A and B are shown apart, each in its own frame.
Chain A
Amino acid sequence: MQKILIIEDEELMLKSLEFKLKKEGYEVVIASDGRDGSAKIKEQQFDLIITDIMMPFVSGLEVISLVRTEMKLTTPIIILSAVGLEDVVLEAFKLGADDFITKPFMLGELSIRVKKLIK
């Protein structure tokens, strides 16, 4: 079973994504902030990471930097954020994010993007 890590500080969003992706047959691990997420990335292996940008302690951009620069992992990363500013999006892609979804979003769209990247 493919394993997905979701890092999101908004509790209901976290639970919603967990519910949706579990329903689609993935194993889902959740983290409620960037620090928790980073710790889980160091401990376990994931097939995909979904992360928010604006989070307490460690931001989504720092998480990408950890995965790509420090740990040199190729795990696909999807950014899910309400911040759709051009600078932030470009910075995320520059650091190595594979996809960027801006809130509000369609759940169906997220599923398709997850499927596409996890292949």
Chain B
Amino acid sequence: MENLLALFYHYQDSLIARYNYDRFTFYANCGLIGVSLFGIFIAYWLIIYHRIKEHLSGKGRAVIVSALNELFIETVLDAPAENFESEIPASIIAFRKKHLGSKFGREIVISELMQLHKNFTGTTAENIRKLYFQPELDKASIKKLKWGTWSRKAMAIRELSRFGVADTIEMVARYVNNRNEILRLEAQVGYLKLHNEHPFDFLENLQGPMSEWHQLNLFNTVTQLDRLKIPSFSKWFASFNDSVVLFAIKMATHFNQLDAADSLITLFDHRSLEIKAESIKAFGVLQASQSVRDLLVFYEEANGSEKQLILATLGKISADEAIEFISKEVRNKDYDIALAAARALKEYYTGRTLLIQIKEQSNERVGAIIAHALDDRI
């Protein structure tokens, strides 16, 4: 070390003397070079460390996955449920001792069990659940939910809801308004899956807007769950959160909740144009004939695009009491409204005949609109 320092001082003096360097600049440059070299060394060390770690964990993962697969096929796949009730097979006990002692092992086993559980129903699925619950892997998931980063929390919710750990519902509910969108969505999906009595109650207190993608994910979950208790969605039509109202309208129409029609009428006065439009469309999907009069009243105050939507909805409902009104609107001076009316009338069983009659009795302009509406190629 002393020799090195002596060498440094020797070169320092000769360099400063030869090139007329400023002493401070020289030291600053030397410091900078030193720090850079140290940084490069640390970066290389970290890269090598992570590569080795990744390689070893990959190998470790492969060993655990292979052992679990073997155990699954030989002991779990086709075993009757009773096999796991009274006495746990020795092979499972040996597997637990060998692989579930470490956090790393538990993580891999949980993720593999999730994958397996997705593919099976019946006894096999029940046996996979037991592989999760018996060694208390649910505790590992709960711990992850309590202390993990947002991504680990999201994963934990997915695990708990996959295996139906219903008593964690309160913990999951804490994240339904989380500022992280992925965690928030995962918590809402988890709530749906875990809450046996009122799975949609989280909608009550939803603060932020639900994006289309978000709603689509929830909808997808709802359609995949067999035993979900479906509430009357009209109770969320009065929500302060517009996206909740939109979601509730979509769900009410999907589940064909005709009793929601009366509450839908109240949305005609909603401040959101999107909600107004969706509620009008919903009448058509529900084919709610009892709402025709309300639609006709609202029509008087509606703007152009709303009028077109109402006409389309009246066409879908195809109630006799609206025929006269729609026929009159076919002659409307506004081209878009007249075309929407013609198309609505076409939806009626006798619509084509009626349109041809109107065409014969009308001027060229109305005739052209009707011809346009009757052309199935358009």
Contacts and interface: CB of A to CB of B under 8 A. Distances in A.
Interface of A: 10-13, 15-16, 19-20, 23, 82, 103-109
Given A13-B119, A103-B119, A104-B120, A19 B73 contact: yes
28 contacts: A11-B69, A12-B73, A12-B116, A13-B119, A15-B69, A15-B73, A16-B72, A19-B73, A19-B77, A19-B78, A20-B77, A20-B78, A82-B118, A103-B119, A104-B117, A104-B118, A104-B119, A104-B121, A104-B125, A106-B121, A106-B122, A106-B123, A107-B77, A107-B120, A107-B123, A108-B122, A108-B123, A109-B122
A108 B117 CA distance: 16
Interface in B117-136: 117-125
B124 A107 contact: yes
Q: Which 8 A-B pairs have the closest CB atoms?
A: A106-B122, A104-B121, A19-B73, A103-B119, A106-B121, A12-B69, A104-B120, A104-B119
B118 A103 contact: yes
Nearest to B116: A12
Contact of B78 (A12, A13, A23): A23
B221 to A, nearest CB: 14
Nearest to A109: B122
Given A19-B78, A20-B78, A23-B78, A106 B73 contact: no
Contacts of A82: 118-119
A107 B122 contact: yes
Nearest to B117: A104
A82 to B, nearest CB: 8
Q: Which of A10, A16, A20, A103 counts the most chain B CB atoms within 10 A? A: A16
By secondary structure, the A interface counts as: helix
A87 B119 CA distance: 21
Interface string B67-93: 001001110011000000000000000
Contacts, number: 47
Contacts of A108: 122-123
Given A104-B119, A107-B124, 5 more contacts: A11-B69, A82-B118, A104-B118, A106-B123, A106-B124
Given A12-B69, A15-B69, A106 B120 contact: yes
Interface in B298-347: none
Contacts of B119: 10, 13, 82, 103-105
A11 B218 CA distance: 30
Q: Which of B119, B121, B122 counts the most chain A CB atoms within 10 A? A: B119
A13 B123 CA distance: 16
Interface string B160-188: 00000000000000000000000000000
Contacts of A13: 119
A108 to B, nearest CB: 7
A12 B121 CA distance: 16
Given A20-B78, A23-B78, A105 B73 contact: no
Contacts of B115: 12
Nearest to A12: B69
Contacts of A103: 118-119
Nearest to A108: B122
Contacts of B120: 104-107
Contacts of B116: 12
Contacts of B69: 11-12, 15
Contacts of B124: 106-107
A108 B78 CA distance: 9
A2 B122 CA distance: 27
Nearest to A80: B119
Contacts of B123: 106-108
Contacts of A106: 120-124
Contacts of B73: 12, 15-16, 19
B126 to A, nearest CB: 11
Contacts of B118: 82, 103-104
Interface in B55-114: 69, 72-74, 77-78
A88 to B, nearest CB: 16
Given A20-B77, A20-B78, A104-B119, A12 B72 contact: yes
Contacts of A23: 78
A29 to B, nearest CB: 17
A88 B130 CA distance: 34
A15 B74 CA distance: 11
B76 to A, nearest CB: 10
A76 B172 CA distance: 46
A106 B119 CA distance: 9
